[in-house]
Amino acid sequence: MYGSATYRVALSGSGMEYEPVIGLEVHCQLLTDSKIFCGCSTRFGAPANTNVCPVCLGMPGTLPVLNRRAVEYALRAALALGCRIEPVSIFARKNYFYPDLPKGYQISMYDRPLAVQGHLDVEAKGETKHVGITRVHMEEDAGKLLHEGFPDSDRASHVDYNRSGVPLIEIVSEPDMRSPEEAHAYYSALRTILVYIGVTDGNMEEGSLRCDANVSLRPRGQSGFGTKAELKNLNSFKFVQHALEYEIRRQTDLLVRGERVTQETRLYDPAEDRTSPMRSKEEAHDYRYFPEPDLLPLQVNEEWIGEVRRWLPELPAARRRRFVAEYGLPEQDAALLTSDRALADYYEAAARAARNAKAAANWVMTEILRKVKEDKIDVDRVPLPPVRLAALIRLVDDGAISGKIAKEVFETIYATGKDPADVVREQGLSQVTDEGAIREAIENVIAQNQSQYAQYKAGKTALLGFFVGQVLKATGGKASPSLVNRLLKERLDRP
């Protein structure tokens, strides 16, 4: 009922234009081996309730002990987002009853988060948007509730606590986004950077990254905020955008009719492409946070921050700018090549060894990415080492083989891992640069294509391409095209 047409009519009819105000809360699973407060495995997909122990099952008398690597990953993420790390942060208990939470509280951080005041610059609609990061804090994940799939699922829910205690960071943005596109761009850039710095696998199907959105409307030009709705279950980039689009239409419609937006939590249903109020857990927001007495304040000194900072890789945006400046790549190519850290590493290794940055970019973007797609593998699983690809580029640049032959050699070295120079030698693929041999081929082609020759002589010079093709074919693609071109022209244009 809230089609986009309705939205436009409503807007023009009201004489008032509304501006969406959007903030995102993103939960990100950290790539540690063990859980945040105990030594159980974080591995996804294990049989139900096999990665559990008294600590993550919330048994009485157990004590949490914080995982150092989880803190380091959280710090790395906070630094990558330009946050200020707090010297002291405090874990707090967030109290509520829900069966996915075995202790009756979640250990999180409340008024003393790990890091504050960061930002992320994102590209949306050709513009750079500065999105503020309010805070980054650490917390433990809850278990997984299954509402269907059991014979008695109509009467009971079933719980798997393997995920209980998996380390998370929550990244809260400022309400800085003004459109679903910007929210999408922010979430996507955030995922790229978190995967890039190696703190998460970013796998959204497995729930490694989850997103809630706060959205409200206000008359354009007004600086105060309207009443917001919190949207849950935005588990893909597409859902974030669609749910926000729907919710903006819904709220616009309410405001235009003179009604009010209710502050509430709404669940997005991707099948129906709509949001609806979650059955309200009465008083659910009365979490009665208090400092977790079982964990001392977390102290992070300058030395530790410095150590984490040293491990921080060059970030995608900086690397993209460097690729443009250092390798002379177009902005778009640099953006593609830096979208994945392994891809950027592969490209740089190939470009440096080949001493031809542009050719390396073309090979990586077309051939390597084609293979990655065809074989459904990650870039770090590409069997061809970048130096081998570089050697192939050098063979072309040195005139040893033609570009066409290079594609064939590529297939061979990709499949076998052989040195391209060996492949060229073994298969006799060296470029024919012997002018005598090419002239001979030209004479044969002319002899076999007398009518085309006559047409050419009569002025149809566009047939040059035809002759080039025939000569290249006659030499098995091994002749240098530029040489063929020159010799053919000389021969055909001879009076």
Q: Which stretches of the chain bind another protein, using CB under 8 A?
A: 32-34, 38-41, 47-54, 57, 65-71, 90, 95, 97-99, 145-147, 150, 152, 154-161, 279, 283, 286, 288, 291, 293, 295-299
Nearer to another protein, 78 or 405 (CB): 78
For the CB of residue 72, give the shortest distance to another protein in the complex, in Å. 9
3-state class (DSSP) for residue 50: coil
Our measurement of the distance from residue 71's CA atom to the centroid of its chain's CA atoms, rounded to an integer in Å, reads 23
CA distance linking residue 167 with residue 144, whole number of Å: 15
- Residue pair 224/251 in contact by the 8 Å Cβ criterion: no
* Nearest distance from C-beta of residue 161 to another protein, angstroms: 7
Which residue matches tokens 């509520």?
96
Q: Which is nearer to another protein, 150 or 311 (CB)?
A: 150
Nearest to 35, CA basis, from 56, 49, 57, 58 = 56
Of 205 and 286, the one with the shorter C-beta distance to another protein is 286
Strands (E), 247-288: 264-269, 274-277
Centre a 10 Å sphere on the Cβ of residue 357 and count the other Cβ atoms it contains. Answer: 18
> Phi first, then psi: what are they for 169, rounded to 5°?
-115, 145
Amino acid at 288: R
Q: How far is the CB of 53 from another protein (least distance, A)?
A: 5
* CB of 281 vs another protein, minimal distance in Å: 9
Using DSSP bridges, classify how beta strands 229-232 and 209-219 pair: parallel, antiparallel or unpaired.
Answer: antiparallel
In this complex, which beta carbon is closest to another protein, that of residue 31 or of residue 217?
31
Residue 237 or 289 having the CB closest to another protein: 289
Of 322, 402, 398, 318, residue with least CA distance to 356: 398
Q: How far is the CB of 1 from another protein (least distance, A)?
A: 24
**Closer by beta carbon to another protein, 275 or else 402:** 275
Q: How far apart are the first and last CA of the chain?
A: 77
- 53 or 324: CB nearest another protein: 53
Q: How far is the CB of 296 from another protein (least distance, A)?
A: 5
Nearer to another protein, 146 or 421 (CB): 146
Residue 310 to residues 32, 89, 171, 307, 483, Cα–Cα distance (Å): 19, 22, 22, 5, 52
Angle between helices 435-448 and 481-492 (to 10 degrees): 60
**In angstroms, what is the minimal distance from the CB of 85 to another protein?**
15
Minimal distance, residue 411 CB to another protein, in Å: 42
